[in-house]
Chains A and B, each alone.
Chain A
Amino acid sequence: GAVVSQHPSWVICKSGTSVKIECRSLDFQATTMFWYRQFPKQSLMLMATSNEGSKATYEQGVEKDKFLINHASLTLSTLTVTSAHPEDSSFYICSARDFALSSYNEQFFGPGTRLTVL
């Protein structure tokens, strides 16, 4: 149980285009999902907290107009990188919490999406 998937697993795009990444909780409902970005040899940096049915909460320094987050259902959150540039190339990972679990603090991570912007 508690499986999180991401799609696509990798994507290469041209500078200036937009890329959408999907995060799905496959066997539980996730009212809250989190989006992280990880540059090579660095830690996971939280970008935003995605809440079903409401606006996402962005961390300081993360441009909300560039990284659009939509959490339209209890099992799906999407991150759209708009007008992508080479510096946006990174490993994007989502996670979700299952509040129905007694260990509700635990976050379940997706497999990540490697974005390369040419």
Chain B
Amino acid sequence: GENVEQHPSTLSVQEGDSAVIKCTYSDSASNYFPWYKQELGKRPQLIIDIRSNVGEKKDQRIAVTLNKTAKHFSLHITETQPEDSAVYFCAAFGTGGYNKLIFGAGTRLAVHP
């Protein structure tokens, strides 16, 4: 089955710096890669996603890149702000009849003023 690895587990940056979180996946058939932001006690919020026919996608300060050959994808947050502090999860669509989302272990991002 699909396996998703995420690094780093924690990331601390100064306000205004960039943050990069990386994920690798094992199933070459996976075709959808969402990123979620989760604040304590809340539901995961989709912040950006990318499909396998696209190499890069950007939405204001957030961008995601996908390298299908290497089976890895990354989240880039520029000009970080304290409100970006949260846990970020990558995920990949596993194979199987119901297309399960398999999550990475999460990255705890702390943005210091």
Contacts and interface: CB of A to CB of B under 8 A. Distances in A.
Interface stretch (B54-62, B64-72, B96-104): B96-104
Interface in B68-113: 89, 93, 98-106
A111 interface: yes
A106 B46 contact: yes
A42 B89 CA distance: 10
A114 B44 CA distance: 14
Given A106-B34, A106-B49, A112-B43, A34 B104 contact: no
A112 B100 contact: no
Interface of A: 32, 34, 42-46, 49, 51, 57, 91, 93, 95, 105-107, 109-112, 114
Given A44-B103, A45-B103, A106-B46, 14 more contacts: A34-B100, A46-B100, A46-B101, A93-B43, A105-B31, A105-B32, A105-B93, A106-B34, A109-B43, A109-B45, A111-B43, A112-B41, A112-B42, A114-B41
Interface of B: 31-32, 34, 41-46, 49, 51, 89, 93, 98-106
